[in-house]
Structure 1
């Protein structure tokens, strides 16, 4: 049975949360889905109900997901008049996305919406059977809360919790989002050719993909293996190898996801950073499968003649440092 679900997105990195949700749904449903509507802080997508759990098990930049009831303006509740709730009690919760609808009296809104739903269901603010969320953005979007993600997503795998770590490593939620944006399926191969401390391959293996790690620094490959063992995860393959040599070792990879080195403290063997990037992007299409994609994090926008740049997402970190999440496809 097909159902429409609202994805309440985290308010960061502009449209990266939206694109991650769409890419994940598309991947898990083999494209059997339809975007109903989207806007600031949300996207509504229709797909088979049985796909909800596998989709939610992958998401990193979504706050909550629930069955979509409808959208309306605060002065006109008619779009939700016929939206029935499951049997039992209910409670209403509301949230403004980034200050939207600041001039709307939220308590008055809750009273009016509550009057609509209480025609057939009783209110129970403490122990409701159903929680109805009202997301206030370009309109008010009502949905039945079904999945809520931990505010500190994946905290048990945060960088500082690993036995081998570097403080500049990606947070697990961004590593996971980067993988999801490549559209790789469960069981597919994910290569991180700058594996560092293994944050990306940890997330890939945790999502059911075949994780492959390589790096020119033997210490990084050994540390990645140590971290994978710590979490009880298996590396599908690994190698100590220079980035320019990976086409000789790896073939038909479904996705590349990596956070290449940058900064003064990074080991590069004396090679200039941009030259490493150029060599990497020349090697990637030789490694990827025909429809494979690469998600690459760099400190500035980097275009090249070897791959097509599909999207860039910018994350401000501190000072003059920003991360640019690139999504590349083969030409």
Structure 2
């Protein structure tokens, strides 16, 4: 079993993304989840999971209980160690530096050498107290008091700041931030060997994130300016000579001008679709009313892929169902005071 340390402000959304890289994901406490198995290489590409650790055990969120747990645990590892402790959201009040010293001392007593710079193994200690707001724990309650110990197995690559929208070669206002774009790509099934389509690709941010986790990507946009800009961004990030940050080969890419309601793509040609629908309630965009544009794109997405993830400034649930999609899940992601992004995960 594995411990997942979640990031962001929406644990349910983070756990849903984590399920693209792990099986049997269920939330444990605020900021923490459990998984039956993980794909370590895919954990590296997650946006809202920081780490996965091979679970050593769990107890209540006190340093005394953590010490007792570690003293009684079976330790099947050799080599040097370091301890890293975290107080999730500052909820437990545990002194994490003291926790690292105390737990490290126990490991030394049990025959390990400490190496804080380059250890063979890292023991993670996560303390969390709080209430799960929208679902229940395994025991049917919605409140937990947890310390979980685990040996670090994989960490996500936190390089999203290097791809801030304003720092990309081509930028337009309203571009999705790379953290959310990565999560959306993962939810759509981006991974080595998959093909992801964005029929309204804009600056190409979603395609960049899908390509960085190994998917081959296809984009279309009705505006020639966006097509040119997306090509610049994709070439910059997916054709780089630098080692891939996620440890997998970057995917190939192709972008062309096209109408998202009439895709020149065969039925079932791609594995997943991602798109950021136009925002606002303007009556017309190019040659389409906004409602017709979104409805048409949803219908075409269903024709070419079994799965889609849509981001928009309103739910569009009625239109998605009318296009034949089943809504697997929906989330609200507040961006700032005047903008909430809705994320719909759609299955055929």
What TM bracket, shorter-length normalisation? Answer: 0.7 to 0.9
The yes-or-no answer on 1:86 pairing with 2:64 is no
Match of 1:97 in 2: 88
**For residue 295 of structure 1, what is the aligned residue in structure 2?**
309
Q: 1:201 to 1:285 in 2, by over 3 A?
A: same
State the SS of the aligned residue for 2:125. Answer: strand
Superposition TM-score, scaled by structure 2 size: 0.79
Structure 2 distance, partners of 1:68, 1:273, is: 49
- Stretches of structure 1 lacking an aligned partner (at least 5 in a row): 26-32
Question: Relative to 1, partners in 2 of residues 1:207 and 1:266: Cα closer, same or farther, differing over 3 Å?
Answer: farther
Counterpart secondary structure, 1:284 = helix
- The alignment yields a C-alpha RMSD, in angstroms, of 2.9
Task: Please give the secondary structure, in 1, of the residue aligned with 2:18.
Answer: helix
Residues matched between the structures, number: 311
Counting only pairs closer than 5 Å after superposition, residues 162-201 of structure 1 correspond to structure 2 as 162-201=168-207
Change (3 A) 1:200 1:36: closer
Secondary structure of the 1:245 match is coil
CA distance 1:11–1:249, change in 2 (3 Å)? closer
| Displacement after TM superposition at 1:95 (Å) | 1.3
Listed one character per residue, the Cα deviations across residues 133-163 of structure 1 (whole Å, up to 9, x for unaligned) are 2111130011223444454x33333322322
Q: Deviations over 1:196-217 (max 9, x none)?
A: 0111111222222121100111
Deviation at 1:184, TM superposition (A): 4.3
For residues 108 and 156 of structure 1, what CA distance do their matches in structure 2 show? Answer: 34
Question: Structure 2 vs 1, CA of residues 267 and 197 (structure 1 numbering), >3 Å: closer, same or farther?
Answer: farther
Are the counterparts in 2 of residues 214 and 221 from structure 1 also a CA contact under 8 Å? yes
Residues 208, 131 of structure 1: alpha-carbon distance in 2 compared, 3 angstrom cutoff: closer
Is 2:21 the partner of 1:5? no
Higher deviation after alignment, 115-124 or 131-140: 115-124
**What is the Cα deviation at residue 34 of structure 1?**
4.2
Give the whole-Å Cα distance in 1 for the aligned partners of 2:98 and 2:161.
Answer: 37
Q: How far is 1:274 from its partner? A: 3.5
CA contact under 8 A between 2:191 and 2:210: conserved in structure 1?
A: no
1:68 to 55, 59, 64: 55
Partner of 2:21: 24
Counterpart of 2:295?
278
Judging changes above 3 Å, is the alpha-carbon distance between structure 1 residues 266 and 198 closer, same or farther for their aligned structure 2 residues? farther
Q: 8 Å contact 1:261–1:267 — kept in the other structure?
A: no
